[in-house]
Structure 1
Amino acid sequence: MSTILMEENEEPASPTARMMQVPGFDICIYAIMGYVTLIDLDLFKSDLGQTLVKHPRFSSLLVAKDKKGGKYSWKQTIVDIEKHVFAPDLDPNMESPDKFVENFISRLSREKLDPTKPVWEMHVLNVKPSYANSTVIFKIDHSIGDGVSLISFILACAKKTSNPESEPAMPSKKPKIKIDRDKINNNIGLLMTMKKLFSSVWIIFLVFYYTLIDLVVFLATILFFKDTKTPIKGAKEVENSPKRFVHRIVDLDDVKLVKNAMNADPLDHIGRSKATMDRKKLSLQPNCVFMILKLIIKLFGTKVAAKITSRIFYSTTVAVSNVMGPQKDIVLYGHPLSYIAPTVSGFPQLCQKANYYEELVPNPHQLCDELQNSLLNLKETVKKKGLSIKPL
């Protein structure tokens, strides 16, 4: 039995982690990891024991100090890797390995994590689905962290394929070009100072304005704003229904062909998205909401906070998430990684990434097939009409 002894220590749980302990507010993150090779279980566990389980969050229990008051803390414990890493005995030559992996993840999403041990587990599937030679399903309770922090930590456990001694780099901002102010004469320097002062005042105004607008919209969403009722909008308690994780891969050349025929520029959409993100960055709404959440938990408890948060989720139809991964090929837990696809379950929205609720979409494969076929039909139409000429 492989065990890691941890120093006993306690740390108060965050307001979000406390809120997620409310019954019915079970949210889990899934990282579906495809590997280039079959998994050597002993090597996988050994590397896991030297990296992941040394992190306090993955070696701690969430214990209740005052369950009625919603007070929890992280308490370090003994980690038995054998109770967290599971490798069922499978036929490597089975028919439809893709369907098997999909059904396995669907069944896994219906099971709750055992709270008597650190709330994470891994399932090693040594079968060969499309685009990989083996699959590892990493299931994590959302109270451990969000998608960005978890992916960042997973990458910190990885090594570059080209250089096993170095860690992969995450995308970073380009450094700003520094201006040599000594070369600027006094007149231009005064003009730039006035311009900078005006810009600072304008940005402060925008911060207050956007924060106020976003807080009003946030409050309205809690009280009465909601998406139009449609067949794909989740009803109450839909988050507890079985989930189905499906995916399709399309050729970007086909997308480019249709884009050229329509004389469309994807950068227009990217520009609008960037403008929206830039505006959101000026808003202090997330900070204000976090402080309000802490106040509600302190005054009324975690159940009230969870109910208010659920109202926001029930008011929307679709959730979109984007977590950036590594830029280069990496080795993770002793094996070269082919892809990593994070998703989440427990929200009442129709889909996150490729996560569909069976109650809303009884046949998600048909939905994906129709989306894929619609692109192929557009491609054939473009070719028949002779529109597949690249624009100047």
Structure 2
Amino acid sequence: MDRTPSLNPLKKIQTTKDQKLFEGSKEEEDYQEQPLSPMTRLLHEPGANIYILAIIGTKTPIDPDLPKAVMVHIIQKNHRFSSLQVKQNGNITWIPTRVNIDNHIIVPEIDPRLKSFDKFVEEYISELSRSSLDSSKPLWEVHILNTKTSGTCILRTHHSLGDGLSLMNLLLSCSRKVSDHEALPTLPSNKVFSRHMRPTSLISLFIVLWNSLVAVVMFILTALFLKDTETPLKGFPGTEDRPRRYVLRSVSLDDIKMVKKAMDITVNDVVVGFIQAGLSRYLNRYGAGENIRLRAVVPINLRAATMFDAFANTTSSHEGWGNKFGYVLLPLNMRLREDPLDYVRDVKTTIGRKKASLEPIWTEFVSSMVIKLFGYKIAGKLNRKIYLSTTLCLSNVPGPQEEISAFGHEVSYLAATFYGLSTALIIQAVSYVDKVTLVVAVDEETIPDPEKLCDDLQHSFHLIKTAVLSKGYDKK
């Protein structure tokens, strides 16, 4: 397979500042050129040069004029969407520019004889991963895919425009509840990791400090030499430059909540538990063995809350936006278990230790310090080394709990994924109403059969659910 060119979107281009940027926007003095923040600047380095794909499925075909109107609103509210990122003398600066909305909205023609629209969507986003965005325009675009009965909207942005929570907040601020067209959607509180640890005793304080120390040591060892075991899931150098293959699957959120209630754990424990079980099942098929080291990089957003109502009214260019996240290195046990529930129990214990630590805050601090002391190149190499030394990137995002409408269309599902990381496997889960949509992104040179991997994930959850029912936990 031919090597795909590097996905670096930045070029040394010349631009001038327009006197009027977009009809209805603020006065020109608010549009000052600004340098990218250190963490945002890091996201242009090889191995961290990430593109986000936000996917919204709708129950009816999408009228392209409605997303256009929404994006006009977004441009007026957040000026990152109307600014170029220009590289000059080694620095990158936000420079406001005039936006032609039609250049950012893509509506491809689709064969009406298409047999599987879901398969077409997977192939379409896979094709998007082969290219970067045009740096002569703001780094975002919207793709609208329609059939006679449904539609899909794909927002592709560079990670420098904002982290996943920022983008979800902005999109949901433009959405409304189906049951109340004047009300904003609500999100469940995200308690996977607490930003502020509050030890209640000397013992709990010691536990937090000990767990944090262990995490620090493991991070340093990984940055220096510690690598995961070579398995059929682990990528190799150059993975970040290759296109991705995407497969979308869904599982019942009600079933997940049933397991959660029965075992007195969290939704996140259940999701990560069946993912661990599915990966173990997949590797066992290839005879990878059980005594292997396999870790997931889990990005943790360090913003104080998941509220997004402020985004509906803010007109600040960059306030409340950006990239503020750390991550944890989550070890996964690949040993086969006779009792499927043991996978979930293992995960509960492991995540419990990670919650009782300062690991995400510490990793964000280290990244910032490396940038200040050694520059973006070294920080980028460190980030790339961490992902190359581990096996996958894993994320679970809670979505709206009630049905919503976006762009004037009722939403059937929400999903998200990304590309540009130095890892061969990315699993992103997003919940919406009564289901969790999994997007599995793979480097096909490493993992040529992602459908089998997804089958293993779904089957593993079925075994866990069946085990709960057979033990009578549902009667509690």
TM-score, structure 1 normalization: 0.78
Aligned partner letter, 1:329: E
Aligned-partner SS, 1:51? helix
CA RMSD in angstroms, aligned pairs only: 3.4
Residue 355 of structure 2, aligned match among 269, 278, 291:
278
In structure 2, the partner of 1:10 is: 33
Q: Compute the displacement of 1:301 (Å).
A: 2.2
Q: Compute the displacement of 1:29 (Å).
A: 1.0
In structure 2, the partner of 1:86 is: 106
1:99-178 aligned within 5 A: 99-127=119-147, 133-172=150-189
Distance 1:273 1:127, change over 3 A: farther
Question: 2:408 & 2:218 partners in 1: Cα distance?
Answer: 47
Does structure 2 conserve the Cα–Cα contact (< 8 Å) formed by 1:4 and 1:80? no
1:103-140: CA deviation from partner (whole Å, max 9, x where unpaired): 11111111101111111111100026xxx811111111
Distance 1:13 1:202, change over 3 A: farther
Residue 65 of structure 2, aligned match among 42, 51, 62:
42
Question: 2:199 & 2:407 partners in 1: Cα distance?
Answer: 52
Does structure 2 conserve the Cα–Cα contact (< 8 Å) formed by 1:248 and 1:368? yes
In structure 2, the partner of 1:344 is: 418
1:225-256: CA deviation from partner (whole Å, max 9, x where unpaired): 11011222101111222211112345689998
Question: 1:292 & 1:61 partners in 2: Cα distance?
Answer: 29
Which protein is bigger by CA-based radius of gyration?
1
Aligned-partner SS, 1:123? strand
Q: Compute the displacement of 1:277 (Å).
A: 4.2
Distance 1:371 1:263, change over 3 A: closer
1:52-73: CA deviation from partner (whole Å, max 9, x where unpaired): 5531222222223432xxx323
Asked whether 1:358 is paired with 2:359, we answer no
1:331-354: CA deviation from partner (whole Å, max 9, x where unpaired): 112221111111111122232221
Aligned partner letter, 2:107: A
Question: 2:340 & 2:121 partners in 1: Cα distance?
Answer: 40
Does structure 1 conserve the Cα–Cα contact (< 8 Å) formed by 2:190 and 2:398? no
Q: Which moved more, 1:305-314 or 1:25-34?
A: 25-34
Does structure 2 conserve the Cα–Cα contact (< 8 Å) formed by 1:105 and 1:245? yes
| Paired-residue identity, % | 40
In structure 1, the partner of 2:302 is: none
Distance 1:53 1:86, change over 3 A: farther
Aligned partner letter, 1:40: D
1:226-237 aligned within 5 A: 226-237=227-238
In structure 2, the partner of 1:179 is: none
Does structure 2 conserve the Cα–Cα contact (< 8 Å) formed by 1:350 and 1:356? yes
Question: 1:161 & 1:286 partners in 2: Cα distance?
Answer: 36
| Higher share in helix | 1
1:256-311: CA deviation from partner (whole Å, max 9, x where unpaired): 89x9996948874574355234313xx1x444443433333234321111011111
Question: 2:232 & 2:113 partners in 1: Cα distance?
Answer: 40
Does structure 1 conserve the Cα–Cα contact (< 8 Å) formed by 2:52 and 2:419? yes
The number of aligned residues is 352
Does structure 2 conserve the Cα–Cα contact (< 8 Å) formed by 1:15 and 1:293? no
Question: 1:313 & 1:115 partners in 2: Cα distance?
Answer: 26
Q: Compute the displacement of 1:16 (Å).
A: 1.9
Distance 1:375 1:298, change over 3 A: closer
List runs of 5+ in structure 2 lacking aligned partners. Answer: 1-20, 192-197, 264-337, 428-439
Question: 2:86 & 2:253 partners in 1: Cα distance?
Answer: 48
Q: Compute the displacement of 1:157 (Å).
A: 1.8
Residue 309 of structure 1, aligned match among 375, 379, 383:
383
List runs of 5+ in structure 1 lacking aligned partners. Answer: 175-196
Does structure 2 conserve the Cα–Cα contact (< 8 Å) formed by 1:92 and 1:126? no
Aligned-partner SS, 1:355? strand
1:148-297 aligned within 5 A: 148-172=165-189, 199=200, 201-249=202-250, 264=341, 268=345, 271-272=348-349, 275-280=352-357, 283=358, 285-297=359-371
Does structure 2 conserve the Cα–Cα contact (< 8 Å) formed by 1:242 and 1:359? no
Does structure 2 conserve the Cα–Cα contact (< 8 Å) formed by 1:350 and 1:360? yes
Does structure 1 conserve the Cα–Cα contact (< 8 Å) formed by 2:129 and 2:244? yes
Question: 1:203 & 1:367 partners in 2: Cα distance?
Answer: 39
Q: Which moved more, 1:197-206 or 1:333-342?
A: 197-206
